[in-house]
């Protein structure tokens, strides 16, 4: 069996706020295998964003074990964690987070600067990533000169340019109208199918979640259920990763 892309074992995350402890995650156990397509749902404040930050190495658990691409994050220095994040994870956010005065191709090339990739190679790979999301004709447009759907596609291209194993998306369709949101979901599905990149996305929209091959429901900082949505292909995941599962917490 291949190594999990992400693995959390009894992960807790407690925030300290003005002397008060907030237990955002209270013992989450889950694994995401290469090539899976997972939706994370749950009420506001249930811990979804906290979980995504941990899975994406933007934060560390208070306790429990978190392995990203097989590496236990507690054994890594901050610099090693940042390097693991840069090499393994691509992020897509609801608010796009693009540099406003920078062209599409420069926005997409940016993660490669931190990897020390040369200028010509950065551009070549950024153009390729933009073509992969259907934006080969918008290379020199700036975010202000693009529609919301186009901006989100630039953000997806930026997330992909480093060829991550996992794409983490926090409400990727939250700022888009229904049709544009469907187009963005179609791109994520195609990239998942063609490149095998695992996708984990947070959403409040049930029609978006219903397109995933696995739905993890978070409530009060715990995994409440972990299941295959009605109508999803059972053999869709790698290693049978999308099989029916019971909640494990």
Ligand X SMILES: Nc1ncnc2c1ncn2[C@@H]1O[C@H](COP(=O)(O)OP(=O)(O)OP(=O)(O)O)[C@@H](O)[C@H]1O
**Contact positions toward ligand X, by CB under 6 A?**
15, 17, 22, 24, 42, 44-50
Distance of closest approach, residue 203 Cβ to ligand X, in angstroms: 10
Ramachandran bin of 78, using left for φ above 0, alpha for ψ from -120 to 50, beta for the remaining angles: alpha
Distance of closest approach, residue 41 Cβ to ligand X, in angstroms: 9
Instruction: Confirm if 55 and 218 have CB atoms less than 8 A apart.
Output: no
Instruction: Confirm if 138 and 152 have CB atoms less than 8 A apart.
Output: no
| Residue in 120, 212, 124, 199 with CA at minimum distance from that of residue 159 | 199
Distance of closest approach, residue 244 Cβ to ligand X, in angstroms: 24
Distance of closest approach, residue 221 Cβ to ligand X, in angstroms: 7
Distance of closest approach, residue 133 Cβ to ligand X, in angstroms: 25
Q: What are the Cα distances from residue 124, in Å, to 127, 128, 131, 163, 200?
A: 5, 6, 11, 14, 27
- In terms of CB distance, is 15 or 114 closer to ligand X? 15
| Residue in 189, 132, 133, 199 with CA at minimum distance from that of residue 165 | 199
Distance of closest approach, residue 188 Cβ to ligand X, in angstroms: 19
- In terms of CB distance, is 62 or 86 closer to ligand X? 62
- In terms of CB distance, is 89 or 161 closer to ligand X? 89
In the numeric block, which tokens belong to residue 107?
């926005």
Distance of closest approach, residue 170 Cβ to ligand X, in angstroms: 8
| Residue in 149, 129, 148 with CA at minimum distance from that of residue 139 | 129
- In terms of CB distance, is 31 or 204 closer to ligand X? 204
- In terms of CB distance, is 17 or 233 closer to ligand X? 17
In the numeric block, which tokens belong to residue 20?
């008060």
Instruction: Confirm if 69 and 88 have CB atoms less than 8 A apart.
Output: yes
Q: What is the 3-state secondary structure (H, E, C) of 80-101?
A: HHHHHHHHHEEEEECCCCCCCC
In the numeric block, which tokens belong to residue 36?
């899976």
Instruction: Confirm if 236 and 39 have CB atoms less than 8 A apart.
Output: no
């Amino acid at each position: 069996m291949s190594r999990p892309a992400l693995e959390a074992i009894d992960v807790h995350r407690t925030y300290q706020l003005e002397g008060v402890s907030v237990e955002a995650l209270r013992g989450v156990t889950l694994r995401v295998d290469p090539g899976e397509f997972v939706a994370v749902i749950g009420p506001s404040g249930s811990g979804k964003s906290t979980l995504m930050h941990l899975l994406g190495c933007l934060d560390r658990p208070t306790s429990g074990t978190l392995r990203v691409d097989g590496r236990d994050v507690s054994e890594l220095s901050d610099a090693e964690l940042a390097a693991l994040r840069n090499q393994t994870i691509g992020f897509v956010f609801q608010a796009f987070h693009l540099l406003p005065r920078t062209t599409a191709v420069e926005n997409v090339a940016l993660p490669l600067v931190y990897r020390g990739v040369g200028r010509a190679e950065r551009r070549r790979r950024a153009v390729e990533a933009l073509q992969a999301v259907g934006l080969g004709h918008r290379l020199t447009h700036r975010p202000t000169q693009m529609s919301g759907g186009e901006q989100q596609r630039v953000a997806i291209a930026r997330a992909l340019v480093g060829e991550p194993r996992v794409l983490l998306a926090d409400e990727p369709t939250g700022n888009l109208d229904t049709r544009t949101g469907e187009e963005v979901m179609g791109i994520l599905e195609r990239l998942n199918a063609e490149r095998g990149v695992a996708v984990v996305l947070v959403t409040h929209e049930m029609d978006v979640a219903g397109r995933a091959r696995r739905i993890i429901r978070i409530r009060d900082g715990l995994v409440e259920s972990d299941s295959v949505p009605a109508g999803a292909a059972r053999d869709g995941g790698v290693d049978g990763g999308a099989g029916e599962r019971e909640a494990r917490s």
